[in-house]
Structure formats: C-alpha cells, structure tokens
Structure 1
Amino acid sequence: MNAAVKAELLTDEQKSVYIRTKVLDAGVALRERHHWLKHQDFIGASIMALSLLGMIASGVLYVQGVIAWWVCVPLTALFASFIHELEHDLIHLMYFRKKPWANNLMLALGWVARASTVNPFVRRKLHLHHHKFSGTESDLEERGITNGVPWGIKRLVMLGDNMMAVYLRPTEMLRATKAYIKSQKPATAAEARAMGKEQLHAYFPLGTAYYALFHTWVVTHVVLLIASALSFSITLPTWYAGFLNGLNVFAVVYMLPSLLRTFCLHFISSNMHYYGDVEARNVMQQCQVLNPWWLMPMQLFCFNFGSTHAIHHFAVKEPFYIRQWNAKIAHNVMREMGVRFNDIGTFKRANSFKQVTNPAVLVSR
C-alpha cells in the first residue's frame, strides 16, 4: 500500500499519531548515532550562555565603534532568536525538568534578553493552551500576534510591536481574552478575575518598561523628523537631549534587534498557523510548513521557524535543534500524510484553513 492510499484511509488523528511516531523515532535514532545529544540540559544551558554573551559582545563592539549599527542590529537579533527557541523549549520543560529552579532561571534570563515579549511564566499557560486549541478564538497567543487579521498596514505595524497589537484592536483582544479565560473553566468568579488580571499585566514589569522607552524613542524621532521637514526648529532641554542620546544607543543594542526579531518571527508564525475554521485539537489543521525561498531572510531571525515549527506541533518534546536536524525526515512523512506546504493563499484568506481550491498541490511543493 503506497503512502498516498494509506493516508486516505486514515483519520486526521491517526495521521497525527503516524507523523509523531516517525519523528520521535528519528530523534531516538539521531541520539543513538550522536550520544552527546543526550546531554540535553547541558546543551540548553550552553546555548543560553553563548547567546547572552553574543548579544552583550555585539552591543559592546557597537558602543566601542568597532562595528556599525547595521551590523549590531541583525547580529544581536540573531543571538536573541536562539534564546526565543530556548524559551519555547523551556516552556515545554525540555531542559532541567527535574530542577525547576534552573528552568525558571533560564526563563528569567531569556526574558531579560527579550523584554519585548510576554512574561514567560504567563506565556507558559498561554502556549500550552495554544497546543490544545490552536486556531480557535481562545488561542490568545496566536491572536496576540495578528493571526486571523486581514492583511494591510495595520497588521504590518502590529507584527513588530506587541503593544500596538493590543491598542489597535482592543475589542478583539478583549474578546479573545474572555474566550481564553472561559476555556480554563475557572471555579469561581474570583479565579476568573485573577486570570484576567494576569493577562492584563502579562508584560509587567520588563515589557511595560521596554515599550515605554521604545514608544518614547519612536515618537520623539517622528516629531523631530516632521519638524525638520517643515523647517521648524525644536530645541530639546539639555536633560532630554542627553536622555535621547542614551536612548539612541539602547535602540541599536537592544530595541531595534527586538523589533527585527519580533517582526520576522510573528510574520512567519502568524502565517504558518491557521485560524477561524480549525477543529480544536486537530493537529493536521493547526499549521503548515512555510519555507519558500523568499522568506529565508526572515527565517534567519527565527531559527527557520516556518520550516520546523509544524514538526513541533506533532512531536512536542523534541528541542529546536533536533527539529532542524531531522527536518528532512519529518517533512517527508508530513507530505505523505497530507500536511500542507507553502500554502501562500493563507495571506489572502486571513489564515483560514479550508478555503483551498486544490489541496493536493499544497503537499507536492
């Protein structure tokens, strides 16, 4: 029986189990060939340490005048992208499962390195919920990064700025938050209010401080630019001029790398996940493999997320570097079972799943 016929005889749940089994078996075989891969805690801690040192070194080299801003920004964003993948794996307890303090320490360090993100201890709940209800209204994590929003300038702005993603659609995010809280089945009204409060302060304190500084920097430069274009002179107070000079440096070594990394990750993630007409818990409908050649510049700043994240939805426990290593094996079996590849039509459909003219084409690319 060939793979195409076999896939037709299976339910979506059976296809998911088949893919998961093949991917996990490939991971076991890889670790048997390379025994050092079994030291997963050490690998995770090493990647965290090297990435943090890389971010710091990049910033120091810029401040010392060794590298230009256009080198510092992408280089720092690249190191930060490794930390994002580590945070994701830490949320799934792939490192230091038996040492919660070490797991929590790594999460905290990762948040310091990427303050534009949601508090990882809050995100853990959101992300685990995302796996169960990906693509539904209560999937607050994906809704927060614009999944399901029609394409336009508004969505582009929201992709790189998590606060703008809330400010520009307060009603939608409130509705998604209520759906998320309801899905958690709080036992009492007080428990429901506590969940709501947790989401309200999901960026506090690091994210709140980050966006206050980032928006101050953006608004100041926009005002100065407009004034210059209108030949209108603005003299900044001495204290503010000094503050702005410091903020300019902070923008290069921290804020602009955050913006670049966030935009690339959210662009890829929000378009590889489906939304709106997805069956809850049906992994076959949750996401596609999105890896056309023209997205490679963005993939660079999110560790090839579009190509490998769908693998994670089927085989949750494999760390990001194993997913990348075994991507070819995983992609082959995913194609066999009918997982979509490069469904570019999702851009026009605002991420809906079912409106595809010829689904067979999507697994052959």
Structure 2
Amino acid sequence: MKVLENAIEIDRLTTDQEKIDNVTRSITDHGNYLRKRYPILQYQNTLGASVMVFSLAGMIVTGGLYINGSIPAWGCILINALLTSFIHEIEHDLIHRLYFRKQPLAHNAMMFFCWLARPGMPSPWLRRNLHFHHHKESGTDSDVEAWITTSGSPWGLLRLLKLLDGFVFGFLNAVFAPGWRQKVRLLGKIIRLNTPFGLLYWGCWYVFLGYHLYAWLAPIMGTEAYTSAATLKLMNIVDSAVVILIAPNMIRQFCLFFISSNMHYYGDVAPRNAIQQTQVMNPWWLWPFQLFCFNFGSTHSIHHFVVRDPFYLRQMTAPYAHKVMAQAGVRFNDFGTYHRANRYCMDHSKTRSRG
C-alpha cells in the first residue's frame, strides 16, 4: 500500500514538473516576444539605472520641498513611500544580478544606493544568499526569508506587530527563544544585520516615538513637557528624517510584508514546486497595499517561474502569464490563507481561480 502511495506521489510531482516547465517556457517566450516588439526593453541596464536615479532624485526633491514648507508631511511621506517601492524592485533585480552583471562597480554602487534608500533592511549583499535559498526551498521550514516576513504565523496582534516593526519582531524572537545561548545568538544576529544603517534607522524611529509620546502625555499627566534648545534642534532633524525616509519605508515595508506573507504558502509545500509556492493576489481592495509594493501580489508569482525578467517586464507579461499559470493550477485569490496561517492545504474547494 505504501509503495502504491509513493508511486502516485511521484507521478503527481512529475506532472507538476511538466506544468512548471511549460509555464516557465511560455512566459519566457512571451518575454522574448515583448523584447522584440519594444526594442527599448533591450537596454535593461539603462532602464534599471534610470528608474534608480529617478527614484532617488524624487526622494531628494520631495524632501527639500517638505523642509521648505512647500508640501505637507503626509504628501512627502506618500510620495517617498511610492518611490521606495520602485527602489525595492530595483534592489530585488540586483540581487538576481539583472543589471550590470559584468560591471561590478556599477552593480555594487546601485546595491549601495538601494541600501541607503531603505536603511531599515539588512544589506542586499547579506540578503542575496537568503533570497537564493528562498527560491530553492520556498515555503519549507528552512525558508528563512519567508519566515522573516511572518509567513506561517497565525494571524493576531503579535503577527501584526511583527509586520509593523521589523526590529521589534527580531527582538521578540530573541527574547522568547529557548535558552540563553540561543537568545544571545539571535540578539547578536539582529545587531549584525542592522549595522550600521539599521541601528541609526530604528534608533531615530524610537527617539521620534518616545519624544512625541512624552510631549503628548505630559499635559495629560498634569506636568509641563520640558525641552531644551538642543533637544528641539535634534528633534527637528529627527522629525525630518522620519518624514523623508523612515515613515515612507515603514509604509512600504508593511504593505510589502503584508502582501508577500499572504501570497507565499508556508509549512506544507512540496519542495521546489513552483505551483505550490505562491498564489496570485489581485482583488481590487488590495490596491492600497499593492500601490506601495509595485503590484507585488499580482506579479511576484511570475518571478518564481521566470527569474530573469526585471520587475517592469513582469508587469507587462502579467495578463498572459496569469492565463498560463491558472491553467497549470496556480491559485488565485485564495483568501483562506489568512486563517490557515499560510498553509497550502490541499482542499481546492476553498480557492477561487481566475484566468
């Protein structure tokens, strides 16, 4: 009986692999067709660098306009959150060496500027190995990148907190780790991953929260909030950093992690089975989140089949790719993932598919 079950499982996986190969080939061919139809797509390095320069320049301009009082804080935050979503896509492509592959100076310079624009994240060089492993073992217990974005955790206040504050997420994991050696090891890893920019980023954020909480609570408690001239000068710098850089990245990261952690399956995924690794999430009500992570829920599944295409080409191939993926059995808008803690769960009656 066991031999028969194993034979059925092997046959199923073989069928899935054939479907995966067909999806990969079809999307690749469609990408080649688009490259021929639109010759500008041949200039991949130039396009990537142009998006990078545009996004960084945009952040600088909006920051200057905010400091000069020409635009409100909320305007600066929303514009820069959108621009940092472009930079995240550029960094993700760079991790896969899609720009300046044979020109290390230009490639690493772009990686560095991506890190500067998103200082709350570990360096892209450290993340590269984690991300490559994510592609190989997506959704399995060793997929650290998926786990970091809270995939596999039951939904509740703790998961929401982890999505809102990545540093607190890491700190809580260390605090609740079994044994002192494990706690110390995880704390050391948090410090290493956040050195140097992340420590400045999160430190600035907590100073901002602490100061404004104190200023808000003091009158309520019947005391006067005392602030020296030096403190006010420091807080002007901190407030500007939060509006121009930190708050935009907090919004971008929350939207990205919220979408990513729910479109990736985790915990009961067959190894290296791209059909089971992700779903396509593209309902209209997710657009407020999709806006700040460059339509990630709709297009990231394509990347699990075809790695070589840059982010803007995935947007162009999406209508065609979705049809091919749906035919192969990739799920669309499986909202049951919210109460299944991202388990794949073989009950297909709980999913909805769209071609």
* TM-score of the two chains, using structure 2 as the length reference: 0.90
User: Aligned partner of 1:99: which letter?
Assistant: Q
Q: Post-superposition shift, 1:174?
A: 8.8
Number of residue-to-residue matches in the alignment:
340
User: Aligned partner of 1:162: which letter?
Assistant: G
Is contact 1:349–1:355 with CA below 8 Å preserved after alignment? Answer: no
Question: Quick one: distance in 2 between partners of 1:147 and 1:172?
Answer: 18
Q: Post-superposition shift, 1:349?
A: 1.0
User: Aligned partner of 1:245: which letter?
Assistant: N
Match of 2:211 among 206, 217, 220: 220
- Structure 1 residues 287 and 65, CA gap change in structure 2 (3 angstroms): same
Q: Which whole-Å deviations, capped at 9, do the CAs of 1:198-235 have from their partners, x for residues lacking one?
A: 77512211111111111121122223323333333221
Alignment of 1:43-58 (within 5 A): 43-58=47-62
Match of 1:326 among 314, 317, 322: 317
User: Aligned partner of 1:364: which letter?
Assistant: R
Q: Post-superposition shift, 1:146?
A: 1.1
Question: Quick one: distance in 1 between partners of 2:57 and 2:130?
Answer: 29
Q: Which whole-Å deviations, capped at 9, do the CAs of 1:118-176 have from their partners, x for residues lacking one?
A: 1110011110111011112221112112111111222222113211111222277899x
Q: Is 1:292 paired with 2:279?
A: no
Taking only the aligned residue pairs, the percentage that are identical comes to 44
Q: Which whole-Å deviations, capped at 9, do the CAs of 1:22-61 have from their partners, x for residues lacking one?
A: 1100000001101110110111111111110011111111
Structure-1 residue corresponding to 2:270: 279
Structure-2 residue corresponding to 1:76: 80
Structure-2 residue corresponding to 1:242: 233
- Structure 1 residues 9 and 353, CA gap change in structure 2 (3 angstroms): closer
Structure-2 residue corresponding to 1:166: 170
Secondary structure of 1:362's partner?
A: coil
Structure-1 residue corresponding to 2:68: 64
Structure-2 residue corresponding to 1:305: 296
Alignment of 1:126-165 (within 5 A): 126-165=130-169
**RMSD of the alignment, in Å?**
2.2
Q: Post-superposition shift, 1:246?
A: 1.8
Question: Quick one: distance in 2 between partners of 1:205 and 1:78?
Answer: 25
Question: Quick one: distance in 1 between partners of 2:200 and 2:49?
Answer: 27
User: Aligned partner of 1:241: which letter?
Assistant: L
Q: Which moved more, 1:245-254 or 1:25-34?
A: 245-254
Secondary structure of 2:352's partner?
A: helix
Which segments of 5 or more consecutive residues in structure 1 lack a partner in the other structure? 1-7, 179-192
User: Aligned partner of 2:155: which letter?
Assistant: W
Secondary structure of 1:201's partner?
A: helix
Q: Post-superposition shift, 1:355?
A: 5.3
Is contact 2:174–2:187 with CA below 8 Å preserved after alignment? Answer: no
Match of 1:124 among 128, 133, 150: 128
User: Aligned partner of 1:148: which letter?
Assistant: G
Which segments of 5 or more consecutive residues in structure 2 lack a partner in the other structure? 1-11
Question: Quick one: distance in 2 between partners of 1:105 and 1:131?
Answer: 25
Is contact 2:171–2:187 with CA below 8 Å preserved after alignment? Answer: no
Q: Which moved more, 1:300-309 or 1:233-242?
A: 233-242
Question: Quick one: distance in 2 between partners of 1:47 and 1:54?
Answer: 10
Question: Quick one: distance in 2 between partners of 1:172 and 1:36?
Answer: 52
Match of 2:90 among 70, 86, 91: 86
Question: Quick one: distance in 2 between partners of 1:140 and 1:172?
Answer: 17
Q: Which moved more, 1:72-81 or 1:348-357?
A: 348-357
